[in-house]
Chains A and B, each alone.
Chain A
Amino acid sequence: MIWFIAKHTVLKNLYDARVVILYVVAILIMALSAVVNSHDMERTLAHYHRLRNLTAREANLEKVVVVKRPSSLRFIHADMDDRLPGYLVVSPGFVDYPVEDVQLKPLAQVGEHLDWSFIFTYLFSILGLLLTFDIVSGETERGTLKLVLSFGISRGDYLIGSFWGSLLTILPVAFIGCILNLLIMSANAPISLRQEWEKIGGALFMSSLLIMVFTAIGLAASTFSVKSSTSFLLALLVWVTFVIVIPIGSVLLAQQIVTIPAVTEVEAEIQRARRLFFAQLYQVSSYDLREIYRRDDLTDAEKRQKVAELQEMIDRRDLAALERYHKRVIDIRESYLNQLLRQVELANTIARISPVAAYREAMSALTGTGLFRQKRFYEQAKRYMVAYTQYVMPLRNQLRDQAEIDSIIIEDGGYRIRDIRNISYENVPFDKGSLPRFQEKEVSFNAATKSSLRGLGVLACSTALTLLLTYFTFVRYPVT
């Protein structure tokens, strides 16, 4: 009986010109997305190689910039990769995001990337709703529901049959769109998709689950009212809540709960550390020199020896103060970055009540984009930082004479003494070919699947719970 209802639903959908037009539109948009993304991929890869060359040329003993390789599956889910920093600055003992230059931020940040997840979130989810929102209420309005149920079809069978029937109409269209998209991508884009087929399959599976969720929601809405217009509005309300309100609301809520200090506040904290650093410096003055060269009991050689000893003591004290200052600055920055991450993680946790957010999170893991990738990239940069530090530190000791020392110099009585403010190895020449290379590791399919399990769970549970709710509502539904 379930099969009979499913067949009836499929045929009803296929005979509906409106639905067929929507299918054609969906497939065309998938094709357009492939064209858009193949151009985008070409440009993004070219940009990545240009940046790598540039950063390799500019690498020095002070810091090196490591560039994030664009994911070859960004046409499936680019997430927020266009907005996230594409590189990190590695220096001995610290990995940092580049200090934001507000004038280099792209101003045209409207809209989203035209990828699979965008099309599934905003088009196929709506299609799922549109196919099911009037299954029960529409049949009630037309008076056909009682005829159908008079055939001895159980309400459960009717619901399951309609659900599968709707899925059988929409999923093939989604698959055709995806295959067309993949064909265009593999023909035009400078990437090889053969090694990625497992992840592509996973992404397709997740997308199918999203369609199932919204098909179930549409079905639920149709059992909540006897009027199809009310069912439609209910379904629409749920869609707007899941797709627009919860993702934005979760960010707003997280911003209220975890507050981030303003950039100027962080700068002020660094300034305070700086003042402390100056207070800890030796604060050399000509008085120190005078105390030595005016002594009559010392010979010239002894005076020079005394000045050298003084210089050594000042250097030791200055360098220790400088190290403490650097450590403090790193602590300030790390605590700021951790707060940023805490806020994002809270926003993501809240957003997970929406199946759309769970779907996007799972897609990020599968395609290696977004925050999931960013965190891994940061971890890998940290590992690279260890190799870089091990390479740079002995070299720095060897080449200290060539370093640019920013200092205050005091001269008196023919003697000279300095007070170090900073040492920079930025312009010290060295063999750049021997610098350890940063190799970003691919996320394995197993790791990606493991990380997407939570999203999978949310989507599967949402479908199951919605279908259960639909069943309980439908068994009490008035059929008169």
Chain B
Amino acid sequence: MRSVFLKRLRLNFLTFRFWIGFLLLLLLSVPATLISIKDYNRRLALYTTRRNADLADMKSTFIYTYLQTYLVLHRPPEPLSILAKGLGEQFGSVAIMRGKYGPIKVTSRDRSNFLLPLSAVFDYAFLVAVVLSLMAMFLACDTIVGEREQGTLQLTLANTIRWYKVLLGEYGGILVSVGLPSTVAFLMVLLMISVKGTIEFDSDINLRLFLFFLYQLVFISTFVLLGLLISSLVRSSSTAFMMAFLIWVALAIFYPSVAAWGCRSIRPLNQIPIVNAENIMDQAHGYERFFKPIPRDATERQKELYRNKNLEQARLLNRVLVFSPFSNFILMAQGIARTDLGSHEWFLRYARALEQSFIRWQDAKVRQHPLRERIYRGAFGPLDFSGMPAAEYKSEDIASLLKRLLPAGLVLLLWNAVLFFMAYMKCVQYDPRFG
């Protein structure tokens, strides 16, 4: 097995495919990471500025009436969003709570250009998913069939070596030869982050970085095994290449598009007609809204229904997407970076819980000082806001995160087990006497 492993490793190092993949990975991950770091630093600065400004604004409002008190919860940018940007801040990073005087308003500090034709985010996770999956598949897909074509497979098997040892040797050889560039690229990315970034490498981040790296290897392993299975199924290398490429396109491009269409059909959003007729003038005069309560009326309920349907649709899509190893890795990377849908929902739940305690506080204060709910008189002095809940965001803890990501991780491991088993079963049917 060791000699098969070493042979494959040496052969891979001599191929054009290996070096082109390695070079592409290094060449593309440098600009992708540098841009992500720059973007993260910008978002961090924006978070600090905005949060401080909001804290100052909140305090200035507190001196008038309880009707005007509000809480602004800011979700800080996730440090590992450098690796996997995920949903980013596009779907909300700020929750403005008016408690009993109005519905919660979720907004974001930063939004991308809505006119840009962008469906994929070019971050390190996406790059790894594209380059390493292609590299793993193309290094693996002509191993067995290639040896069969050259006649060396018969010679190998004549040495009474068992099939599982051949497969494991080949698998190990390819895994190491793809794992090596991925490790180099990952270390390079870490180096860039530590030099250019503003991240503190605490135990939580270190653990999640380790998990990211580990999952990257599991992901590579899946595509190596897929390549080996293809290699055991076909009779010519060119067919193996064609099949590998088509399967990759099916998993990486067609499956997400068809899955998204399916989810949109099962849980359609456009059944609920919603028009957000707010223009910039409304926003410019929107400040006055804080002087009167916002009713939780039919439009607001309609919006709530729409938001729930939106989340349901996205949840369903994520559940379907984990079955494609390609999408599974990207979703898992976003999960580890806490930039996925689950983390966004955590933020929304956290904001709702905070809103509830804010409402309780408002009720208690209004009971205590009933006149100060809406009326302001200079003689009243400053508002009493002792015991008010602090607008401090706490990210999802690592245990809960791992529990949430476990099913997706198991799906990828299952892919590995099934693919290895299938490749093994196909290989043992091969009779070396007949070529």
Chain A interfacial positions (CB closer than 8 Å to B): 18, 22, 36, 39-40, 43-44, 46-47, 50-51, 54-55, 58, 63, 65, 79-80, 83-85, 87, 89, 91, 94, 96-114, 118, 122-123, 126, 130, 134, 138, 228-230, 232-233, 236-237, 240, 244-245, 247-249, 251-252, 254-256, 260, 262-264, 267-268, 270, 273-274, 325-326, 329-330, 332-333, 340-341, 343-344, 347-348, 360, 370-371, 374, 406, 421-422
Q: B275 on the interface (CB 8 Å rule)?
A: yes
A150 to B259, CA, bound (A): 52
Closest to B253 in A: A122
CA distance A343 to B270 in the complex (A): 29
The answer on a CB contact under 8 Å between A114 and B261 is yes
Q: Give the complex CA separation of A348 and B274 in angstroms.
A: 31
* B297, chain A: closest CB distance, angstroms: 14
Q: Across the interface, which residues of A come within 8 angstroms of B259, CB to CB?
A: 110-111
Query: B281 contacts the other chain (Cβ, under 8 Å)?
Result: yes
Q: Is B26 an interface residue (CB 8 A)?
A: no
A101–B259 CA distance with the chains assembled, in angstroms: 26
Other-chain residue from A109, A123, A233, A422 in contact with B16 (beta carbon distance below 8 A): A233
Find out whether the CB atom of A240 lies under 8 angstroms from the CB atom of B134: yes
In the complex where A107-B87, A343-B116 touch, is A264 in contact with B46 (Cβ < 8 A)? yes
B310 / chain A contacts, CB cutoff of 8 Å: 103-108
- Is B372 at the interface (CB under 8 A from chain A)? no
Using CB atoms, name the residue of chain B closest to A371: B115
**Contact between chains at B246 and A126 (CB < 8 Å):** yes
Q: A50 vs B306: C-alpha distance in the bound complex, in angstroms?
A: 15
- Is B166 interfacial (CB-CB < 8 Å)? no
Contact B111–A112 (Cβ < 8 Å): no
Residue B194, interface by CB 8 Å: no
What bracket does the count of chain B residues touching chain A fall in? 35 or more
Query: A101-B278, A126-B245, A130-B242 are known contacts. Are A111 and B260 too (CB-CB below 8 A)?
Result: yes
Please name all residues of chain A whose beta carbon is closer than 8 Å to the beta carbon of B53 when the two chains form the complex.
Answer: 268
* Known pairs A107-B91, A111-B256, A262-B46; A58 contacts B283 (CB<8 A): no
Residues of chain B contacted by A326 (CB below 8 angstroms)? 281, 284
Given A58-B275, A104-B274, 15 more pairs with CB closer than 8 A: A18-B242, A47-B270, A58-B277, A98-B276, A100-B114, A110-B257, A230-B16, A236-B134, A236-B245, A254-B116, A262-B110, A264-B49, A264-B110, A333-B280, A422-B288
Q: Could you say which residues of chain A place their CB within 8 Å of the CB of B110?
A: 262-264
Within the assembled complex, what's the spacing in Å between the Cα atoms of A22 and B245?
A: 12
Residues in B neighbouring A122, C-beta threshold 8 A? 249, 253-254
Find A105's partner among B49, B90, B109, B120 (CB 8 Å cutoff): B90
Report how far A122 CA is from B246 CA in the complex, Å.
10
Q: A83-B114, A108-B313, A233-B16 are in contact. Are A256 and B35 (CB under 8 A)?
A: yes
B313 to chain A, nearest CB (A): 5
Interface residues of B in 101-144 (CB under 8 A from A): 106-111, 113-120, 122, 130, 134, 138, 142
Chain B interface helix/strand/loop/mixed = helix
The 0/1 profile, CB within 8 Å of A marked 1, for residues 271-293 of chain B is 10111111111111101100000
18 A–B contact pairs at CB < 8 A? A44-B270, A47-B273, A65-B275, A104-B306, A112-B119, A112-B257, A113-B257, A118-B257, A236-B245, A252-B35, A256-B35, A263-B110, A273-B284, A329-B280, A332-B280, A340-B114, A347-B116, A421-B288
CA–CA, A22 to B283, complex, Å? 54
CB of B29 within 8 A of chain A? Answer: no
Chain B nearest CB: distance from A163 CB in Å?
Answer: 19
Say how far B208's CB is from chain A's closest CB, in angstroms.
23
Task: Check: B92 CB closer than 8 A to any chain A CB.
Answer: yes
Bound CA–CA A40/B263 (angstroms): 12
Residue of A nearest to B117 (CB): A80
Q: Which residues in B have their C-beta under 8 angstroms from that of A370?
A: 117
The answer on a CB contact under 8 Å between A110 and B321 is yes
> Quick check: B35 and A107 within 8 Å, CB to CB?
no
Mark the stretch among B233-241, B395-403, B404-412, B417-425 that contacts chain A.
B233-241
Chain A residue at smallest Cβ distance from B91: A102
Return chain A residues, CB-CB under 8 Å to B311: 107
Nearest neighbor of B256 in chain A, beta-carbon distance: A111
B268 an interface residue at 8 Å Cβ cutoff?
A: yes
Q: CB of B258 within 8 A of chain A? A: yes
Known: A103-B106, A263-B108. Is A54-B275 also a contact (CB below 8 A)? yes
**B193 beta carbon closer than 8 Å to chain A:** no
Assess the B314–A108 pair: CB atoms within 8 A.
Answer: yes
Query: Nearest 9 A-B pairs (CB), nearest first?
Result: A111-B257, A107-B314, A47-B270, A111-B260, A111-B256, A96-B279, A89-B279, A50-B273, A333-B280
Given contacts A18-B242, A252-B122, contact A108 B260 (CB under 8 A): yes
User: Hey, which bits of chain B sit against chain A, CB under 8 A?
Assistant: 16-17, 20, 28, 31-32, 35, 42, 46, 49-50, 53, 87, 90-92, 106-111, 113-120, 122, 130, 134, 138, 142, 237-239, 241-242, 245-246, 249, 253-254, 256-261, 263-265, 268-271, 273-285, 287-288, 303, 306-307, 310-311, 313-314, 316-317, 321, 327, 341, 344
Partner of A54, one of B242, B257, B258, B273: B273
Bound CA span A313–B260, Å: 60
Q: Which of A46, A55, A96 contacts B275 (CB 8 A)?
A: A55
Residues of A with C-beta under 8 A to B258:
111, 114
Report chain B residues within 8 Å CB of A96. Answer: 279-281
Contacts of A421 in B (CB 8 A): 288
Pair B106/A87 contact, Cβ less than 8 Å: no
Q: Which of A110, A134, A228 contacts B317 (CB 8 A)?
A: A110
Contact of A103 among B92, B253, B263, B264 (CB under 8 A): B92
The answer to whether residues A108 and B282 also contact, given A99-B276, A244-B130, A263-B108 and a CB cut-off of 8 A, is no
A232 to chain B: closest CB distance in Å? 5
Minimum C-beta distance from A206 to chain B (A): 17
Q: Which residues of A have CB within 8 Å of B280?
A: 96, 99, 270, 329-330, 332-333
Shortest CB distance A65–B (Å): 5
Chain B residues within an 8 Å CB radius of A245: 28
Contact across chains for A371 and B117 when beta carbons are under 8 A apart: yes
B115 touches A63 (CB 8 A): no
> In the complex the two chains form, is A114's CB within 8 Å of B257's CB?
yes
The answer for the CA separation of A96 and B254 in the assembled complex, in Å, is 36
